[in-house]
Amino acid sequence: MSMGDVKNKFTEQTAFLIGGGPSLIGKDLEILKSAGIFTFGLNNSVKTFRPNAWCGVDRPDIFLNSLWKDPTIMKFVPAGYKRVKIDGRNVYDHPNVHKFKRNTVYSKEAFFAEDLVGYGGVEKVRSVFLAAVKILFLMGFRRIVLVGVDFKMEHNSQNYSFEQDTSKHAIDQNNKAYEKINKTMLELLPFMSEHGFEVVNTNPKSGLDTFKHVSIEQAVSDALEGFPDVKTESSAGRYELSYEIATKFANKKRSKPVECKKQILLSGISRSGTHALCNWIGSQFSGNVQYRNDLARHGNEAYIHHPQGKRFPARWFTMPRITANPETQNADLYLYSYENSCNTRLEFHNKITSDAGVKTLLLRDPFNLLASCYKHVQEGNRFWFYKNCTRDLFVDNETLRPFRDLWMLHAGTIINQNDILPILYNRWVSDSDYRDEIATSLGVDVRTDVAMSDVHGAGGGSSFDKMDKDGRADEMRVSERWKEFANEPWFKSFFKENMELVEKSTELFGHIDGTEALWQ
């Protein structure tokens, strides 16, 4: 079998990647055997924990025989070992073995973009860890939890969770490789963000410090959110449903792709005013206006499928100025948003269902955006910023790197890319003439600012005011949010250490009075 047999079969799921580090010794891993938890092992870590799937990039015969004979474990092996035999049987003839084509030439731009499994990194390092990350990505997983990935070896110590001698030379070489893999993952972070792909580490002492730390208990709890309790789940009456379901399916009309006269894509970062802007855009058009929220979490082509087709989870919203009717096949305007992704993701949206398509990019100044993101987290919201930029509410320059990288990427796109309509949130909120310019570029047929007073409830409304200012949105001090954290050391340090970001902000938004105190 090949990788193609399992590609994208685990869309949006969580995988627990099990390494062979000594941190596993004595650890109770029964929690990872829970129903609904998918585990993926590396090399001979199967001696410590039997996973659902496994991979290795070295000669297959150096790994445990029981692994190859176990039909319950999916095994991923590079193509090219057709002459290797295990117990007299070709390695690929063992049960549940999947071959993949590998690429040892590292390119950060190509790592997630190509179908080959790359296990090369910076400075020509090679690692099964990199191969495992890419395989899980190709399988469709979008969150990886690292367990036993210690990335640290010491002389005169046990360096594996299983029996294995390690020479001084091997320890030194492995530690050098770990440093290079760390650099590789750091380079890949923006591209992971682009694809909505997240990695977290359950070992706070791991040498792989690129990713934030979570407890294994919390990671399991997050992975099982919404999963039925197998102990209390009732089977009573299930068979009686079959006739009802079959009848409903037989009478159901096949849904068709939505057709529309005009299509607008809005990309931006969470807490930038995406919902407010979409509501305003929708109010500029007459006829049937439909809105789809945050495609980043539902697949690149989700927007061309009618939600009644059940292929993708539908997230249609009715806004104060937009009537979203998923039963309607045709629309005058189809408006959809795409949050927290690199600008290159916009290129996936060439398959539009109308001849008139506009791609826009919304950006808010980093001072007020960072304040709104952190405030939203303080209020208990577990969204993109919480998952990627904090460690259980703790923030510093290190945790905030994904925020910085994503903001800089969007800023660079607005400055350098001509095929995208830029929308600067600060000006859109405060300048009616600027809104006129945007409306003209969008080709609206109704020009109104009535929606500027609305606060939309999606995402909990305003980070600071919730829904309190609905109908009076002009009273919100959206340009002064940064002042709440102006005296916080982490807030000041972030801007002091990222002056390139400050310069880009000034280029786009002008100087924001008072912010100079953050870095002086």
Does residue 182 sit in the same domain as residue 100?
yes
Which of 59-73, 203-217, 285-299, 422-436 is least confident? 285-299
Residue 232 counted as domain residue: no
Of the candidates 237, 300, 245, 241, the one whose C-alpha atom is nearest the C-alpha of residue 267 is 300
Does residue 89 sit in the same domain as residue 199?
yes
Task: Report yes or no: 312 and 293 within 8 Å, Cβ to Cβ.
Answer: no
Helix (H), strand (E) at residue 405: helix 401-416
What CATH number did the domain enclosing 138 receive?
3.90.1480
Looking at 201, 223, 245, the residue that finishes a domain is 223
DSSP 19-57: ---GGGTT---GGGGSTT-EEEEEGGGGGT---SEEE--
Does residue 327 sit in the same domain as residue 386?
yes
Task: Report yes or no: 279 and 321 within 8 Å, Cβ to Cβ.
Answer: yes
Q: Measure the CA–CA gap between 202 and 18, rounded to whole angstroms.
A: 11
Residue 236 counted as domain residue: no
Q: Is the pLDDT of residue 310 over 50?
A: no
Residue 22 counted as domain residue: yes
Residue 380 counted as domain residue: yes
Does residue 343 sit in the same domain as residue 471?
yes
- The set of residues, in sequence order, having a beta carbon less than 8 Å from that of 466 and lying 6+ positions away, is 460
Residue 42 pLDDT: 96
Q: Is the pLDDT of residue 298 over 50?
A: no
- First-to-last C-alpha distance (Å) of the chain: 61
Q: Measure the CA–CA gap between 370 and 512, rounded to whole angstroms.
A: 14
The beta-carbon contacts of 75-79 under 8 Å, at least 24 apart in sequence, are 76/3, 76/100, 76/131, 76/135, 78/102, 78/117
- Across 91-239, the runs of DSSP E, i.e. the strands, are 97-100, 102-103, 117-118, 143-147, 198-201
Query: Burial letters for 88-108: b for 16+ Cβ neighbours within 10 Å, e otherwise?
Result: eeebbebeebbbbebbbebeb
Does residue 182 sit in the same domain as residue 322?
no
Does residue 320 sit in the same domain as residue 203?
no
The amino acid at residue 404 is R
Does residue 197 sit in the same domain as residue 311?
no
* pLDDT tens-place string over residues 120-141: 999 999 999 999 999 999 999 9
Domain of residue 410 covers 259-518
Does residue 144 sit in the same domain as residue 273?
no
Helix (H), strand (E) at residue 178: helix 168-194
> In the structure encoding, which two tokens stand for residue 189, read together?
């972070």
Residue 334 counted as domain residue: yes
Task: Report yes or no: 334 and 475 within 8 Å, Cβ to Cβ.
Answer: no
Looking at 223, 250, 282, the residue that finishes a domain is 223
Does residue 140 sit in the same domain as residue 275?
no
Residue 231 counted as domain residue: no
Residue 284 pLDDT: 85
Q: Measure the CA–CA gap between 111 and 118, rounded to whole angstroms.
A: 6
Looking at 166, 196, 223, the residue that finishes a domain is 223
The amino acid at residue 203 is N
**Other residues' Cβ atoms within 10 Å of the Cβ of residue 31:** 14
**Other residues' Cβ atoms within 10 Å of the Cβ of residue 117:** 25
Confidence of residue 286 (pLDDT cuts 50, 70, 90): confident
Does residue 304 sit in the same domain as residue 200?
no
Residue 229 counted as domain residue: no
* Percentage of the chain exceeding pLDDT 70: 80
The neighbouring-strand residues paired with 86 are 89
Domains in the chain, number: 2
Location of structure tokens 């987290």: 377
* pLDDT tens-place string over residues 447-499: 888 777 755 544 444 444 444 445 444 555 778 888 999 999 999 999 999 99
Task: Report yes or no: 224 and 34 within 8 Å, Cβ to Cβ.
Answer: yes
What CATH number did the domain enclosing 455 receive?
3.40.50
Does residue 214 sit in the same domain as residue 130?
yes
Does residue 370 sit in the same domain as residue 445?
yes
Of the candidates 107, 103, 7, 14, the one whose C-alpha atom is nearest the C-alpha of residue 52 is 14
C-alpha pair distances (Å), 390 with each of 17, 316, 337, 485: 21, 29, 24, 16
Residue 173 counted as domain residue: yes
* pLDDT tens-place string over residues 19-36: 999 999 988 999 999 999
